Chains A and B, each alone.
Chain A
């Protein structure tokens, strides 16, 4: 107990490297300090080691994908009782509208899912559906950051940043947290969805996609390999001379180590994106060869996700669709006017590649310790928008789901009312959702905090209860 090591804080230790402890594995220590060190570590044994979060921006309709409402079919064309003159986000609503697609029972559990997701339905027995979600906002931008950060305003750390902060990296040559945006562009509110907020900058997601390499990763084309290595050698010499006179400044060593790490990332990151090394049956499974270019692009991002998770990336935030467009329902799931046509576009893009990714994770044993989340920002109205065959925003009811490490499959928790207008039974918040996610990662959501502007901030704000009913 009298060991000087034990009596020092980590920060103090790094500040004191001069006192003789410095020599021993300093480079390695600093490297961990930089990149791989868990800031807090798990609070208790974890079920999940890593997270895949699939996000369908635009408010993907619970009523047309996951939440089967026979009463809605029966009352199709009749007014919504008690809300006959409902005015919502875009204006006046018409009468109740059944889904344009039939729901069919899937798997052993017999869960009714839309017939538009035939591939994904194969995983019905592994999924825990949460039908009782409701949101604080009916607007896409705030909605997306709410579901990603637990707060409807910008500036808060995304769930992936919190997990990076809490658990650090499993592979120091790759980023800890990766956001893969859709080929069509960023989701509503863009980079705020994968921000580090007030956590350290290293916890922000690195953006990467099959169609888009990591920014600034590659040596500029005008710089030859020989010049690059000589530049690094000169830099090492300059930094070494500078640090020699300042042996007590650990920041200087840390920056030297960061340049070494950057060089290793330049080698390992492109390898992850080399999808052509995958066998043809894997490409066929995902659909990367599809004639639908949007399906093929999303499929490549799904395959990239698996390769990242496999190599120890802690948190992958994968997007299927992008921002809200002036043309409704074109770029994302925001089907205000022509829901049938819009979802006939979006469902096939999402279905096969996502199902293939889940199948592939399972067959590699990765689902044992990978938690899969499916998210969107809110739900849609059971009525049609007046004068259209689409649905308006509905913050009062939507569905999210999870599967994989520590999650019971083939179950549904929470219910909406008869028409899916409002969450009714076991109403669930985004904070409950993340309390559960963190629990599966071995973290108590109340203890994962960061002091900022006078408050101990949390991913779950001042709310959240672990949904024990869906734990395996």
Chain B
């Protein structure tokens, strides 16, 4: 981590891009999308809900049923006792879990030497419409209420989500959104923004 290669920025240069567009030879930090676990942890952290307690029994985002064979039914609502780091999720073979499977969590029947990083409309549907997003949007909205002025709420949201202040155009659009539809709707949009789950 102290090496010069590791500490490079992800800034793109024309010369580098022409030689090695995929950054295979690490001429820059290769920007990447967060993994499934990182995305869930990030959303929980941003919403102020992440339970950092270490150890203890894990949690499940599916309902386990056994009638001769095992069946795993993904949960429609993720209760607060699941708001832990995703490393504590009990991954089961042949289970499909909203958000996690969509964002390329591999089937644990196999070792997986490399994570895939696909981009699909299913991810968009889940992150827009699953109750988890709505719950987290509500929690984030509650967190933003610490600020009394709408402008302050937007500034705080951008700091929390992107670690930077909003640009004037973003500020204007965000204020309009909050005034028309409220903080939860604004938060739902932030949770779906590219900037939240791409690392560069």
Contact = CB atoms under 8 A, between A and B. Distances in A.
Q: Do A and B bind each other?
A: yes
A259 interface: yes
B74 to A, nearest CB: 7
B33 A251 contact: yes
Contacts of A204: 96, 101
A235 B189 contact: yes
Contacts of A218: 129
B3 interface: no
B21 interface: yes
A215 B93 contact: no
A258 B189 contact: no
A282 interface: no
B118 A200 contact: yes
Interface string A191-224: 1100101101110101000000011111110110
Contact of B69 (A35, A189, A230, A259): A189
Interface string B165-199: 00101100110010011000110111011110010
Contacts of A468: none
Task: Give the bracket for the number of chain A residues in contact with chain B.
Answer: 35 or more
A234 B177 contact: yes
Interface string A254-283: 111011011001100000000000000000
Contact of B17 (A153, A222, A248, A262): A248
B122 to A, nearest CB: 7
Given A201-B118, A246-B31, A219 B129 contact: yes
Residue with the greatest number of chain A CB neighbours at <10 A, chosen from B31, B74, B189: B189
Contacts of B98: 215-216
Contacts of B120: 34-35, 201-202, 258
A234 B112 CA distance: 37
A242 B196 CA distance: 10
A325 interface: yes
Contact of A256 (B134, B189, B194): B194
Contacts of A153: 109
A465 B21 CA distance: 41
Interface stretch (A11-19, A114-122, A412-420): A11-19
Contacts of B170: 237-238, 241
A323 B67 contact: yes
Chain A interface SS verdict (over half): helix
A79 interface: no
Contacts of B200: 246, 249
Interface of A: 11-12, 15-16, 18-19, 34-35, 140-141, 153-155, 185-186, 188-192, 195, 197-198, 200-202, 204, 206, 214-220, 222-223, 226-227, 230-231, 233-235, 237-239, 241-243, 246, 248-249, 251-252, 254-256, 258-259, 261-262, 265-266, 323-326, 452-453
Given A216-B98, A231-B181, A258-B120, 8 more contacts: A201-B104, A216-B122, A226-B181, A234-B177, A235-B189, A237-B170, A242-B193, A249-B200
21 contacts: A19-B14, A153-B109, A191-B72, A192-B107, A195-B94, A197-B110, A201-B102, A201-B104, A202-B118, A214-B125, A216-B98, A223-B185, A231-B189, A238-B170, A242-B194, A248-B12, A248-B21, A255-B124, A262-B128, A453-B110, A453-B113
Interface of B: 12, 14, 17-18, 21-22, 31, 33, 67-72, 74, 93-96, 98, 101-104, 106-107, 109-113, 116-126, 128-131, 134, 167, 169-170, 173-174, 177, 180-181, 185-186, 188-190, 192-195, 198, 200
